[in-house]
Amino acid sequence: MNIVVKESYEEMSSACAEYIGEYIKANSGKVLCFAAGDTPLGILQNLIKMQEKGEINLASMYYAGLDEWVELGYEDKGSCKQFMEDNFYTPAKIPVENIRVFDGKANPDEETKAVLEFIKNKGGLGMAVLGIGMNGHIGFNEPGTSVDFAGGKILLSESSVTVGQKYFNKKYNLKYGVTLGIKTLVESEKVVLIANGEKKADIVANSLKEKENPAFPASYLTTHSDYHVFLDNAAYFKIKS
Ligand code: GLP
C-alpha cells in the first residue's frame, strides 16, 4: 500500500489526477471506474484541464459506473449518473459507447449484469478510483458485505441514506443502492482510494489499519498489491497518532 498525503484538498486532487493521468497515457483502452461524490470532484476537474492542455486523451479510455441510488436517474439531482455526466463525461467529451454506468431507474440485477459484462468485454477493470463513506462503505458495499459479492442491489445503511441527503435537492425515501461488489473492486489491476477532511479521519485510519475486516469494507483493499491512497492532512491525522 502506497499512501500519499498532501496539505490540502486541492493539492491532493492535483497529485491524484497526475497519477491517474500517467496511467491513462500508458494504458489506452483500459477501463476506469470513478466514484461520484464530493471527494473526486477536484480530480475530475484536474483531468479535464490536463486534456485541454493536450497532455492526455480521456476518450482513449472506457468508463464503468461504480454505484447508484436505486430509483434515481439522470434527471434526479444527486444521482451518480448525473454527477458523472455533468462533471466529467460531457465536459471531457467521452463518446457514449465508451461509458456504461448504472441506471438507478432500471432493474438493478440487469444493470449489474450489463455493467459487469461491459467491464469483462473491455478486458477487466484497469483502475478503480474509490471514495469512502462515513461508515466505511466503498461504492455501496456497506459494512458487513461479503468479499465474494461481485455486485448488485444492496440495502443501504441508515448512515448512507442520511449522509446522502447532501447530494439531493429534495427528500427521498431511498432504501437500496446498486454497486460493483468488493470482489470486482479487488480484482481491479490498480485501486486508488481518496479521502479528505477531518470527518473522514477515523474511518480512514480504521480502514487502513485493519486487514480484511467486514466492519470496514475498504480494509479488503489493504492486501491488494497495487493499492494507492491519496489523503489530505486532515483525513490522515488519526493514522499518525
Ligand atoms: C457515496 C457513494 C460512494 C462515495 C462515498 C463518499 O454515498 N456511494 O461511492 O465514494 O459515498 O462520498 P463523498 O466523496 O461525497 O464523501
Cell digits of residue 237: 491525522
Domain ranges of the chain: 2-240
Distance 163 CA to ligand 1 centre (A): 9
Closest CA to 159 of 193, 191, 132, 198: 132
Distance 63 CA to ligand 1 centre (A): 18
Q: How far is CA 52 from CA 27, 46, 49, 91, 97, in A?
A: 19, 10, 5, 10, 21
Closest CA to 140 of 171, 106, 174, 117: 174
Any ligand 1 atom below 6 A from CB of 136: no
**Nearest-angstrom CA–CA distance, 203 and 205:** 5
Q: Give nearest CA residue, ligand 1 atom 6.
A: 133
Cell digits of residue 14: 492535483
Residue 96's pLDDT is: 98
For residue 176, the SS3 value is strand
pTM of this structure: 0.97
Any ligand 1 atom below 6 A from CB of 164: yes
**Nearest-angstrom CA–CA distance, 160 and 150:** 20
Per-residue pLDDT of the chain (241 residues; tens, 9 = 90+): 999 999 999 999 999 999 999 999 999 999 999 999 999 999 999 999 999 999 999 999 999 999 999 999 999 999 999 999 999 999 999 999 999 999 999 999 999 999 999 999 999 999 999 999 999 999 999 999 999 999 999 999 999 999 999 999 999 999 999 999 999 999 999 999 999 999 999 999 999 999 999 999 999 999 999 999 999 999 999 987 6
> In Å, how far from its chain's centre is CA 34?
4
Q: Is the CATH code 3.40.50.1360 the one for domain 2-240?
A: yes
* Count of all residues that appear for the chain in the document: 241
Residue 241's pLDDT is: 64
Q: How far is CA 134 from CA 18, 129, 157, 211, 217, in A?
A: 26, 17, 11, 18, 12
Distance 122 CA to ligand 1 centre (A): 25
Closest CA to 6 of 197, 206, 221, 212: 197
Atom of ligand 1 nearest to the CA of 40: 14
163, 167, 185, 229: which to mutate for ligand 1, most atoms within 8 A of CB?
163
Annotated catalytic sites, by residue? 67, 135, 137, 142
Residue 240's pLDDT is: 73
Grid cell 441506471 is found at 103
Atom of ligand 1 nearest to the CA of 130: 10
Any ligand 1 atom below 6 A from CB of 68: no
